[in-house]
Amino acid sequence: MILICFEKRHKVFSIYIEKVMGFTDKTCYDVAMEIINNIFLVKYTPTIKENKTWYENFNNFLVTEWDRLQESEEIQSQFTDDEEQMITVDAMQILLDKLNVDEDEFDDHEQDVDWMRFDDIIGHYVCYVK
């Protein structure tokens, strides 16, 4: 959120800016939720192997999906770079929550995951959200 200091006569304007930023945050979260629930998990869940760790399954999917997306046509996103970054961060957190990966588990295996591919994949999926 952007903190803007104005003279007293501009108080209404600063409140309006804060509401708009809150709306943007909510919109980005909703887009991230839609991507994870309706695109990512639909594709990822069938690839999970019970005898592998969450990060092994995750990386295997990231490599396969990233390779597949390299062959697809690029579509222009309707979101700004900052919005896409917020969506990606939200998507990561939503996904980790859905996979029941807690903070300690994440910290232990953060380096075992190719997060750049995840970012690229989410960036590609963002283009399909209306």
pLDDT 10s digits, 48-71: 999 999 999 999 999 999 999 988
Query: Does residue 41 register a pLDDT over 60?
Result: yes
Mean pLDDT on 7-11: 41
Cα–Cα distance measured from residue 74 to residue 78, given in angstroms and rounded to the nearest whole number: 13
Distance set, CA 125 to CA 40, 66, 71 (Å):
8, 11, 14
Please give the share of the chain, as a percent, with pLDDT higher than 90.
Answer: 62
**Tokens (6 digits) for 28:** 């980005």
What's the pLDDT tens digit per position in 74-108?
777 888 889 999 999 999 999 999 999 988 999 99
**Tokens (6 digits) for 3:** 């903190």
Closest CA to 47 of 99, 2, 101: 99
Please give the share of the chain, as a percent, with pLDDT higher than 70.
Answer: 82
Q: Say if residues 40 and 91 touch (Cβ distance below 8 Å).
A: yes
Query: Does residue 26 register a pLDDT over 60?
Result: yes
Q: Which pLDDT score is estimated for 7?
A: 38
Confidence band, pLDDT 50/70/90 cuts, at residue 8: very low
Q: What is the pLDDT of the chain when averaged over all its residues? A: 83
Mean pLDDT on 23-50: 92
